Structure 1
Amino acid sequence: MTAASDKHSPGQGKRGRHGGSLVLAVVVATLVLLSMQYLFAMGYLEAHVQDHLEGHLRQVLNLARSPAMASDPAQALRRAREDPLAGYGEGRLVHTYGLDPSGRVLVPPRRPGLALPPPAVLAGLARGGPGGRELTIQGRPAWAAVERLPGGGLVVVSQGFFTDYLQPALGPLIRSSLLATLGLVVLIVLLGAFVARRRISRPLRRLTAEAERVASGDLTPPPPLAGRGDELGRLSLALNHMTLAAQRMVGQAALEQARFQRLFNDSKDGAFITDQQGRLVEVNEALMEMLGCTDRAQLMGKDQARELFLDPEEGRLYGDTLAAQGYVQDFPAVLRRLDGSSFEALLTVTDAKQSHIRFGLIRDVTRMRAAQRALVESEARYRRLVDNAPDIIYRWSFEQNRFEYLSTSAQEITGYSPQRLVDSPALLWQVVHPEDRRRVRRQWLRLMRGRGPAVGQQEFRILTAEGGARWLMERSILLRDELDHPLALEGIATDITDRKLVELELVRGQQMVEDTLQGLPAAVMVLDREHKVAHWNRALEALTGVPAEQVVGSNRQWHPFYPQAQPVLADLILEGQDEQIKHLAEAESIKPSKLVEGGWEGEGFYPGLGEKGTYLYFLAAPIRDAEGRVVRAVETLVDLTDKRSLEQELVKLSVTDNLTGLYNQRFFYASLGREMETSQRYDLPLSLLMADIDLFKSFNDSFGHLAGDQALSQFAEVLGRCVRGMDLCCRYGGEEFVVLLPHAALPEAMKVAERVRAGVAGTVLQLETNEGQRTTSRITVSLGVATLGAKEDAQELVRRADAALYAAKEAGRNLVGASLAEGQVQVLPRGTLALAPPPEEQPASA
């Protein structure tokens, strides 16, 4: 007996450990279930309390909203909370009371002696906004829902304690918890026996099924066997990791494939893929467009080397090169489009290696090759132009201290051959006039000592080989190397001897011209070729307030007219900037002068000139020498401010109504034509609103015409406030007004019309009678609305709006009528913003 017990003791101990674990699991699960049920019940109860209080408060407020509330809100609240429709629990679970804005209790709760929050908390509830509040009242947790009645005079609070709700629910909670616990114990015991029996076979079958699923291609990671530390647990974890790794590898491959496909499709070059035999198996849109193909199937299966190359010999060379080295890069070829035309291209094809397919790119270089040929031709043409130019074109090297290049025109101007000047650098300073050598050297040194590219211009004299003197104007630019060291000086030297002689002649007559200009009554300024002010007469001093000594000899002729430096018209005339002047003429009122050849005239407003700005007429013209070259520019200015002010006043008087300040009927019809043209051209909606003040003749008879004029003026102000910013208000005549509503369909126009009707009806007019007495009154207005049809003219649109207006008057006045299709008119009830649907679209109950 003892031996038998000893023999079976290990198995019995093992079963005992399993039994103890099962009991422990049952106990833990029971405690967890009870805790979860308690937390769920308490959370549900808290939400139920909040919802019940807020719903009860809304029901009480709905019952309290009556005409009596405006006179006695407290009495209305008392009656509403006693109403059976207010919901269950009033006085038991829910306690409703009223506060004034300071927190003082105006309507106490129905239960006597009910504990309320402290006064400070009540004051916070009264001052706060509507919503729920969590409170603690005398140590008891509570919840309060708050709502403020219209007018702000009474704050209504519904209060409830959690314990009042908890007691009725506590018994069912305990019973349900015990039943759930008992069921769980039975379930765990049965489950434990079942799991103990199938602890090995079921996980093994599961792992086998998961492995077969993964092997079939479904890479959803199988969950590892939880709580298993044996070989089956490690095997399930390894299967999970392997599946995740395979999933990442497949995802990465898909991303790479998508990235390649995106690059392939979006490439601006023609992209293609060929199989092992060189036949096309895929092409992108760029290659299809390049080859003139609209259907991808036209290219599939074509032999790239044999069918796309224009020259078969070139195609064979391409194939041999590809076979020899495995790839080609920038292979030049002439390819053939499907329509037979050809284009120059560069081909790059990858090595096939182990994939047996090749990826390639084709770049159309037809334009690039044409541009290269054009560049070569342009360089040759430029060289011919430089060699034949009348000016001296040169490049001086600072490293070699000599000319690197000198054009052939140096022979004609200096008398020395270009080659001699290149071979003898010291000859340059013998050619420059002795009185100008120092200044020329100083100009070159100034350019060299600066930083970055530098541009210079100077005039100096030279001594020719024949002993004569000539004037040159040199324009040069300093070039630097990558270390910002002076590298070379490139420039053009122009023979300006004739111009200098003319300028000397002009200087002799300058004083005579100066005296003449000073005596002119018109404001005049003259600029020389350097854009410096040569003359600034007394009339211009009076116009601008700037003395001549402040501007003569300077480039500040712009200062009286502009806030920052910019050329005046005379500057543009000097530079011969006809294109810039024409561009300026498109933006401003500038045009060629009919009186002065080569002159330009215009008008403009200059806000910085004078106290309130000045309108000027200006005329600028070139002054030429005997050979027709522009040596100076003259600009004349006339003050047009008074003339412009008078013109603007006359224009305003011609298009506006003196009484209301609105535009008149004449301006309305002019604007209507423009808006109709825009609407019909761009298919945009356009609506018209016509308004007529109701019984205005009786109003005039009662209050007098003076008060009638005041009423019209105040009506115009209300009309302007009620329409949109883009709308155009006009007085049509008498007490009739029109409003043009661009980009507004009929529903939008009806909203504007109703806003105008309500705004006028709600306005109190401040009037003064013919006897001088002040009084108040109200008026109403009837309105008609019509929207422009597809082929409708202005008269028809006005007629339909007018018909809708008089339909509103016949329906009782102070209404809005809408002109619908086929001549129908619908008059809307006051306050309605939308049109009623057609009879066939109305509900059957209607």
Structure 2
Amino acid sequence: MPKDVEGTEAILSEIDTLRRQVARLKGIEQRCQKAEAALRAVEERNRLLGDSSPLGMFTVDALGGITGINRKMMDMFAWTSVDDPTSVNLFDGKALAGAGMVADIQRCIAQNKPVVAEHPYTAPGGSRIHLRCYLSPIPGIDGTVSGVMGIVEDNTDLKRTEEALRESEKRYRQLFQSAPFALIEWDVSHLKAYLEKLRASDVTDFREYFEGHPQEVHHCWSLIKTADYNQAFLKLMGVAGSEEPSGAFIPTDAEGFLKMAREIILVAAEGNTAEEREETIVTTTGEPKIVLGKSLVVSGHEDTLERVAIAMVDISQRKKAEEALRESERRFRDQALRDGLTGLFNQRYLYQSLAIWIDSAKTTDIPISLIFMDLDHFKTIVDTYGHLNGSRAIRKVAGTIGNCLEEPAFAVAYAGDEFVVVLPGMDQPQALQKASEIRASIKNSVYVLDQGIEVRLRASFGIATFPHHAEDLNSLIAAADHALFAIKEAGKDAVGQFTKG
């Protein structure tokens, strides 16, 4: 083959080889362009993620040079005047060094371990914030630390909130301890868990359950723990200042304590811990005291009941005063309806009460009988022994009449030596029998007056019955008086029944 032909073929072969190499290089170039575009996209996404993050992020090399930083971190460090933060050396920042962050980064590099630290930081503009830093070492190729990645959280609001909470808690404790009324805080969480366990085992009626299992009251009570208390509580419970109650109260076997404990446990079982109620508590000396209690779950512990505050005001004396006042009012009302000499009811009570009985009898058809009586020849007693002895005799006769009666029957000191006896539910024969009983008791009694004077008395009686002899109160009294008048006219010392003329 001619040399010219051979040379041409070699050139063509070399050209073909070069063409294939160019095509391969173009493919590589296209892949590199795609990789660069993907890398730029990743970097852009990372930048967007970093700048939109609520946390500050940065990376530094081992010498403190910033190799990356997001917008949040720049805002925290207040580097608004720096166009290229990566031109800054973090270790040269006096504020960061003064806050201790530079020392933490250097410690992370030296020890090749993560570091978590909190620091107050004053920015160049004078604003003060509180930072929490999470520092992680960046491993180099040879296993050494090439830098540090930091994630920084602005905890300023959290710190302010914590400080406000501490201050609030401090004020609460001051008020708690200085309160003039008893305060105690309970941890009821264990009791709550136990009650839920009982409920899960099909206990639905806790009141019935505790009545059937009284030993459970002591167990449940032991699950209530005291978290805090003030001096007023110790005074209320009769606890010496050196003692420290660990449980809710000091339990006893007294029925009063068991009743109180059962009611408090039932309140917890029903979930109604925020309520006001009167309760009788038992002190360490066994003394019952009536307290007005108000319980309230401390905010933030509603689900667990770990802190339940109970305020208690001792109202025992007030209750005694109220009871004394009620008793005084009762006595006053009673005295207003009683005769001062005999202690029997007076005319005011007669007309009030008899009217009610008659109104009732009109609908129930139950009879009401009335006895009108007076002492025979009583003026002779007064003329012979004096008015004081006369009064003593009337008082003693009133006692005899009262001894013959049972409720609802009652006697009335009507006037002087006159008496009225009201007998609800008794018809005329029964009234006659009762009048005869009273007459015999008076007749058989010896009444001892002043200076040992003994007298015997007689009495006359008139009987009338509603509705047979009268239609209303006044006509009933008048009918009995009429029957009495007839006996007095006939010779006295007898019982007479009203008869319509």
- Length-normalised TM-score, structure 1: 0.29
Flag the structure with larger Rg.
2
- Length-normalised TM-score, structure 2: 0.47
